[in-house]
Chain A
Amino acid sequence: MNQGKIWLVVKPTVGLPLFLGGVTVIALAVHAAVLTNTTWYPAYYSGKAAKPTASVPADKAATTSTASITAPVAGTETPVLLAKASPGKQ
Chain B
Amino acid sequence: MATSAITHPIPAATGFVRTLRIFGKETKYEFLKLLRTKSFSLSTIGFPVMFYVLFGIANRNAFAGNVHIAKYMLGGYACFGLIGATLFGIGVGVAGELAAGWLELKRASPMPAPAYLFAKCASAVAFGLIIVSILTAIAVSFGGVSLSSTELIKMFGMTIVGSISFASMGLLLAQLVPANAAPAIVNLIYLPMSFLSGLWMPLRFMPHWLQHIAPALPTYHLSQLMLHIFGYGDSMSLVTHWNALIGFTLLMLGLSWLIFHRKEQNA
The answer to whether A and B assemble together is: no
A interface residues (Cβ-Cβ under 8 A, vs B):
none
B interface residues (Cβ-Cβ under 8 A, vs A):
none
